Structure formats: structure tokens, C-alpha cells
Structure 1
Amino acid sequence: MAPAVLAVDQGTTNSKAVLVSVDGTVLATGSAPVGLSAPQPGWADQDADDLWRSVLAAISSCLAAADPVEIAGIGLSTQRESVVGWDRRSGDAAGPVIGWQDVRTTSWCASLPADLDTLVRTRTGLRVDAMFSAPKLRWLLDHTNADRVGTVDSWLIHRLTGCREHLTDAGNASRTLLYDVLELDWSPALLEAFDVPRSVLPDVRASNAGFGVTAGVPGLPDGIPIVAVLADSHAAMYGQGCTQAGMIKATYGTGSSVMTPVDEFVAAGCTLAWLTDRPLYALEGNIVSSGAALAWTATMLGLPDVGALMELAATVSDAGGVSLVPAFAGLGAPHWDRAARAAITGMSSSTTRAHLARGCVDAVAHQICDVTDTIPGTPGRLRADGGATVSDLLMQTQADVLGHPVEAADVAEISALGAAELAWTTLGARTGWAAQRGYRSFAPAVDAAVRASRRAEWAAAVASVRTSK
């Protein structure tokens, strides 16, 4: 049997499994949805056991669709700042998965000492915000009987290894507000500040250091090594081949992540993308609502799905002056105004449903530009991935408001492929798959004056919803 890596990409709304050969060929795929609930306004919960079952279902579907293979190893790509707690003795989940988009701890974060934000930025590159893991971990410890906590990768490692391992990778750890990305270890000062005991946290390993072997997993033999682990946005950057300073990628998911590698750590907006033989740092901006905004607008307009929204938006040449600011849970990068609220501006008696649809498409593209505008230098070109990139309209709009070419990856499983590629590299294979990958290219089709006018219109709309100027 030919060897293959099994890559699992566990995301906000679904889990995917992909079998990948040593040359990067996708042999089979499988997927399963993951439920998301909002028991209170601003909360975002997932059932930890349902999440695990979705991973098993995706793996089962993938293996059923493939010819017999020898699984040489497993690579994991997982949603990042979301957290889980469980009982050390039973191995059972002690509460919900609290999603990265959950804002229940916003008030608690605002009550923390102002100088903590300086400490956090210096040690982690991030800021104190409800999006990141530490406030959610504290909530779990306060409201459940969990004596083991971690990000989603640690929960999956725990279950894949028969509840034997409590591990995480450095890239996922870097999103918690508790991990010192220069010392490459949990920070005693940050653990004390957020009142999170070191004893409940996983051990941190390099992204390719090995994370135990499978045990008791339905449908998988025991003893398969978990070779590599990456956070999903980081895995997308790895899969896109964006490993050198000056390259930039944007992932269009429920939210969006814009990342570009940097030669060394800088405190403002920097994160640890992965740790192998050396750490790779990246500047990143996180957008709270992109794909979620498209789905919301489709529902509000009575459309069956986002594809129908794109079709409606394409029936008009522009948004007719309409701007939709999707601050449903506040604004993320670069504004970081969690008290901001969504708004639709610029409507007139001639505004149609198509203009509203187009305004939402524009909003996704403008939010990406808001982040790229903060990155030193110019992007040259943007590599795009994620579900929404199937829309030529969105990708062309992105190129138009960015003013630079956009290259959309021709595969939907880029995060899974990133995890698979790191796994194969760790197993000794030569990869470099990004250079062989096909892309759909989009060049700017509007002049500088039109671009500047659209950006100014968007900036005015954002300013109208800001609570902190």
C-alpha cells in the first residue's frame, strides 16, 4: 500500500479530513459539520464531544472514499483561540468549547489593570481581548470542574491518544496570552496575571516535535504517530508557501486572518506562526466577521446561501453608496473596538437588495485592506484561501480595493494541506507543494481615484460605528 498522511482540519463550522500522498496529491477527503450555539447574546459555544464526533465522522468519510493506504502519520490543523476543559481522571469534557468569537469575557478584560496590556504585548505580541484564550480559560476554571484545559488542538490530541497526552504546539500556545513567544514557554508573569495555574495547561512542543500516537480511535489503527500540529491560519500560511518576509496571505473563513512573515519578533501585532528548528514570527490582523457577515446578509435577504448572495451582488456594478459594517461582535484588527456595533450606511430610496448584497461583499474586502494598510511596505500580491475565495466577484473586489494582484488557491483544503506538508517534511520527504499549486489570478480593474473614493467611503462608515476614536 502507498503511504499517505492523514490531515485533519478542525474549523469553526466543520471538520475536514484529507489523505495526502508524498507529492501533495489529495487522495480523498471527508467532512462533517460542527454545531455552534449562542446560549446568551455574545456567547459562542460548541459541544466538545460533538466536535470530537465530527472529527471521527470526517475521518471515516475520508477513508471510505480512498483506496487502501498506509497512514504514515497525522497532521492537525485546528481553530485557534477556542478553548476546552476536561476532567483529568475521566478524560471527559467538563464544559463547552468556548469559541474564539465568544465575547462573554469582554467586561472582565476591561476590568484588568491597564499595565497588563503592556506586559501582554511585550511577551506575546497580542493585546488583552476576549478573542484570545486566557480570559476564556479563566471562565472555564471558574464555572466548571475542569482540571485540564487547553485549545482545540490539545483536546484532539487528548482524544486521539486515548486520553494519554496533554500537549499543544507553540503556534496554538502563542494565541493564549499566556505563552512568551521569545522565551518559548508559558510565562509565569502572565499565568499569575490571568490566574491560570500551570498545572492545568498542556506541555508545549515544537510544531513538528511529535504529539503521541493514536490509541482506541474508532476507524484508525493504534500506533499512528501525530507528527505535526499547526493552528489553522498558520497552517494556511504554511500551505500557501508564505514563509519569507514580504509574502502575505489572507484566509477567508468565519472571520479572516491576514498574515505576513517577519524576520524577527516585534511586539505590536506579532504572533508565533510555528516553531520547528527555529521560530517563525508573523505580523497578523484578525477580522472578527467576514464569512459570518456573508452568511448573515444572505439570511437577512431571504437567500438560501452565500452563493445566492454572490449571484445577487453581481447583478449591480457597485453598492450604490451602501456600506455594511459587520461589527456584530465589535471590530477586530486594526480598530479593536469591541463596543462598536454593526450598521448599514448610505442607503437611499433607490437602494435595492442587490446593493445590500454588494455592500457586504465590499465589506469583506475592505476589512482585509484595513489590515494590509497597517503592514509596512506593500503586499505586492495577496495569496487568498478559504471557502469564500470560490467567488470571483469577491476576489476581483479584493484586488480592486487593495490595488494589487490577488492569487486565490485552487484547492479548498489549504489548511489541511499545510498540516500535511509539515507532517511529510517531518517524516523526511521533500515537499515545496505551493510552487506546484495552481492559482486564479485577479488584477485591479479600477483606477486609483475610484479606489481612493471607495476606501474613503468605507472609512467614514467605520468611523460612524466606532466608540473609541
Structure 2
Amino acid sequence: MTALLAIDQGTTSTRAIVFDRQGRKRGVSQQELPQSYPQPGWVEHDAQRIWQDTLACVKGALADAKLSARDIAAIGITNQRETTVLWERASGRPIHPAIVWQDRRTSDFCKQHESRSNWLSDKTGLLLDPYFSATKIAWILDQVPGARARAEAGELAFGTIDSWLLWNLSGGKLHATDATNASRTALFNIRTQDWDEELLSFFKVPRALLPEVRDSAADYGSTAPELFGGAIRIGGIAGDQQAATVGQACFSPGMIKSTYGTGCFMVLNTGGDFVRSRNRLLSTVAYRLDGKTTYALEGAIFVAGAAVQWLRDAVQLIRGAAETEALARSITDTQGVYLVPAFTGLGAPYWDPQARGAVLGLTRDSGIAHIVRAALESVCYQTRDLMNAMAQDSIVPTELRVDGGMVVNDWLTQFLSDMLKIPVIRPQTVETTALGAAFLAGLQAGVYQSLEEISALWGVERRFAPGLDAGKADQLYAGWLDAVQRVKCS
């Protein structure tokens, strides 16, 4: 059996999945990843914990598949993007906890320099927002004693989580990233496909910190032999949403997918064209293969599955995500209850880092089911926000391919179709983020010869068609827009 292994390091969990050549899952191992919140709006991870969990998951997935290192053609890595790690090159020790993409500690800097946003967007396709890596890097350099001098001397390394894992997997031999992850730092010029000296100067980030940028399917060396009982080549890296775009076989301009994990991210393939958004969406690198860049428009929602996690862990209204579908079906509607999950601000198309979450419209009759259903509905309303912005920027999609843990919920996926008024397609493999990383590694290893060959492996599990009266959908969405206005700060 030709096997590929994907490392999928996400915001709330770390997974490793073994796939066969047809993209079928053969082995899996997963560990939940805790987050820490040292101050309001701050979100951190333990980078060493991420590495140790990755080691354990790769070993667990191999054991589950009953395979050894020599059976794996290549490893692909996909990761939570923008999350920032700085470490010592000599020891491999992080100098500060990883600052997570959701973190808002640099909001004041971004507000002070908002006049530079168009300049930055023209180079990077991004907005000046705490979401991206550049301000996180600068914050660590300014706050950790001696860090800036050590960075300028070449003693420190920066990486998003893919680079951090690659460094450790290679035994400290390789400091690299791919174009998709580089494109999320706000330091990488996606027109020239290189780190940009003007951006580095603006954010005061020394170039000596930065990894080499390679294609999404490329030679990333191999794992240190002692880690898994033999060296395994590493052939692919992509940020999670770009990997899901590959896993969903969205290879033609106009194809669109949306992934529902901790957050929700909609990506529209725009081909070889760098399309500037007029509606505060992001222009980004979808993937880079054989030196050729494919671009995309992206809408980012900070909280999707994280709202369900909040229901479970913070307010303890549910014991697990599996309960949400039955609770949503148990009532005919929310009776006007809306949950706006702006726990770490609002993402696209609002980009309001100061907004905070709220539950609105509560009455004496409101109960757990109303709040839970409102949380699920909020994901669909936010997706419509993104779809509306994309339609104004580019083309009106005729269908949406979806993936991620949330879309196993049939009620949510049907309500999503109702709200968007287009068919929503759930693929046979909803683990498309990991699958995309495996596909990229397979391209580099020669398991696949082309994107067309990969596209032929994609299949439909279920198609959801709109069933709600269009007028009713518009009425519900109008209530959402009103609720958002009540929590916005800018």
C-alpha cells in the first residue's frame, strides 16, 4: 500500500492521519490542545507541548494504521496559520509562549498605524490587524529582554507552526516555510513572492529571523531517523485553509470552499490573478506549485467551532458538540435570540478587534436550546457575510464545498444552505485539511502526477439544497445584522 501521512496541527487539537493513495483514512491519532488566556484578548499556546503532541500523534497514527516509517511515501504538514513562535537556534527552546492567531494584544499598534493599511494590502493582500504574524513578532522582540539584539545577531528563529514543526522534525537542520504560510505574516510580498524589505523595516523585524520560502509541494528534507524508527521524507506544507482548498480540489478559478473548525474560513480560487478586495476580504496565496502562484480571496471568521467549545467549557450548557444537533432540532426557531461570538473581535468583513461577544434577544422563555441553536446559526450568518462580500468582489458562486468538524452536523449544514440560498456540498472525506497536506506531499513524492489526478479522487457524500423560504432567510439574516451592529466598536 502506498501511504501518505498528514500532520494537522490546529488551534484546539493536534492530529496525524495516514491516508492511502485514494485519500482514504487508514490510521489516526489526536490530542486536544489547551489554550491559555493570560489577559483579556490574549491567547497563547505552549510550543513545546505542540511538538510533543505532534510526535505522539505521528507514532499513534502509524500504530493505528499498522505501518512503519518505511511504509510512508512522504509527510505533509498543515497548520494553524499566523500563530507565532520565536526560538533559539542553538537550543531549539522557545523564548516566549506561542502567540495564537486569535490574539489581539497588538490592537493599539494597528489602530495607530491604520493609515498604512492600503499600502500594506497592496503588497500582502492583508489588512493591518493583530491577526497576522508581523505585529506578534515585533511584540515578542520588544517585550522579551535581549530578544531584539539576539534576533539581529542571527541567534533566534521565527516560524509559524509549520516552520516550528519542520525544524524539530528535521532535528534542527531546516528552517523553512511555504508560500501560503509566508503570505499570512504581513511580511511577505505576494506579488514578488519574497520577504519585503519595506515591510520588515516598518514592523522592525530583522530578516535574519525569517525562514526560507519554498513551494507548497517541495523537498523539505526528511525526519530525523531516531524519531520514528527511520527517516521519512517531508514533501508538502500549507496553511490549514490552503490545504483544505487542495483537499477540496478547488483548482479552477471560481471554485470556493469553506472550512468549519475553531474558526470559519472561506477561500475562493482566483487563479493567477491577485484580486484586491473592495469589501475587506483578504487576497492570499492559495498554493504555489513548480514556482507558479495561484491566488485566492479569503474571508476569515474568528469563532465558529470555538463557540460550541465555549458552550461546553465556559458556560457548560452542553457536555459535547454531538448534543448540539438534537438541541437545535428540538425547537422551531430561536424566538429572536442571537449569539454574536465576537470573543476575540470580529473578522471579515467587519475587522473590529475591539468588538466583544453578546447574547441578544433573551426573554423569560429562552432556554439552553435557544442559545445553542443561536450559536450554530451564527456560523451560518457569518458565512453569508463572507459570501455577500465575495459576490461583490468577484463572482456569485453557484455552490459551496464545505469541510471541517462542524459539517458532520446535518442540521447546521442544511441551515447553511438555507441561509446562502445555494447548494452546499459535503465531500466523502471531511478531513480535507489533512487530506490536502497529504496530496501536496504525494505530488512531491511522485504518488500523484497532476492536480487533475487528485481532483478525480474527490467525491460527494451529500448535497444539501435550500429549503427555507427566501423571505424568511432574509428576515433572520436582517436580525443578525442588527445584532452585529450592537456589538461593534468601530
Residue identity in the other structure for 2:254: G
CA-atom RMSD in angstroms: 1.5
Partner residue in 2 for 1:251 = 259
The one-letter amino acid paired with 2:141 is L
Alignment of 1:146-161 (within 5 A): 147-161=156-170
- Measured in 2, the distance between the counterparts of 1:434 and 1:26 equals 17
Q: Please give the alpha-carbon distance, in whole angstroms, between the structure 2 residues aligned to 1:434 and 1:85.
A: 40
| Equivalent residue runs for 1:217-296 within 5 Å | 217-222=226-231, 224-263=232-271, 264-268=273-277, 269-277=282-290, 278-296=292-310
Residues 217, 381 of structure 1: CA spacing in aligned structure 2 closer, same or farther, 3 A cutoff? farther
* 1:432 is the counterpart of 2:447: no
1:357 counterpart letter in structure 2? V
Say how many residue pairs are matched: 465
Deviations 1:406-444 (A, max 9, x none): 112333421111011111122223342564423222111
Listed as ranges, the matches of 1:66-465 within 5 Å are 66-68=65-67, 70-112=71-113, 114-144=114-144, 145=147, 147-222=156-231, 224-263=232-271, 264-268=273-277, 269-277=282-290, 278-299=292-313, 300=315, 302-376=317-391, 377-430=395-448, 431-432=453-454, 435-465=457-487
SS in 2 for 1:158: helix
How far the C-alpha of 1:302 sits from its partner, in A, is 2.7
**What per-residue deviation string (whole Å, max 9, x for no partner) do you get for residues 364-416 of structure 1?**
11001100111133221111111111111110110111111111233342111
**1:150-186 CA-partner distances (Å, limit 9, x unpaired):** 1111101100100111101000000000000010000
Query: Which residues of 2 match residues 48-63 of structure 1 at below 5 A?
Result: 48-63=47-62
Please report how far the alpha carbon of residue 301 of structure 1 lies from its aligned counterpart in structure 2 after TM superposition.
Answer: 5.0
Q: Which whole-Å deviations, capped at 9, do the CAs of 1:161-214 have from their partners, x for residues lacking one?
A: 001111010000000000000100001110100000101111111111211221
Q: Percent identity?
A: 40
Instruction: Please give the secondary structure, in 2, of the residue aligned with 1:23.
Output: coil
TM-aligned CA deviation for residue 293 of structure 1: 1.1
Distance 1:324 1:208 in 2: 40
Asked whether the 8 Å contact 1:239–1:434 carries over to 2, the reply is no
Distance 1:320 1:331 in 2: 24
* CA contact 1:310–1:357 (8 Å) conserved in 2: no
- C-alpha displacement of 1:92: 1.7
- Partner amino acid for 2:318? L
Give the deviation of 1:88 after TM superposition. Answer: 1.2
Deviates more, 1:101-110 or 1:126-135: 101-110
Secondary structure at the counterpart of residue 375 of structure 1: helix
Normalising by structure 2, report the TM-score. 0.92
Q: Please give the secondary structure, in 1, of the residue aligned with 2:65.
A: coil
- CA spacing shift, 1:131–1:434, aligned 2, 3 Å: farther
Measured against aligned partners, the alpha-carbon deviations of 1:241-261 in whole angstroms (never above 9, x if no partner) come to 111122111110111101110
Partner AA of 1:379 in structure 2? P
Give the match's secondary structure for 2:22: coil
For 1:131 and 1:354, how far apart are their aligned partners in 2?
A: 32
Q: Is the 8 Å Cα contact of residues 403 and 426 (structure 2) preserved in structure 1?
A: yes
Q: Distance in 1 between matches of 2:261 and 2:224?
A: 32
What amino acid does structure 1 have at the position aligned with 2:472?
V
Q: Give unmatched runs, 5+ long, in structure 2.
A: none
Inter-CA distance 250–176: structure 2 relative to 1 (3 Å threshold):
same
Where structure 1 has 5 or more consecutive residues not aligned to the other structure, the ranges are none
SS for the counterpart of 2:5 is strand
Deviation string for 1:285-318 (max 9, x for gaps)?
1101111112213442532122223321220111
Q: TM-score, normalised by structure 1?
A: 0.96
**Does the Cα contact within 8 Å between 2:222 and 2:233 map onto a contact in 1?**
yes
Flag the 1:208–1:82 CA change in 2: closer, same or farther, 3 A. same
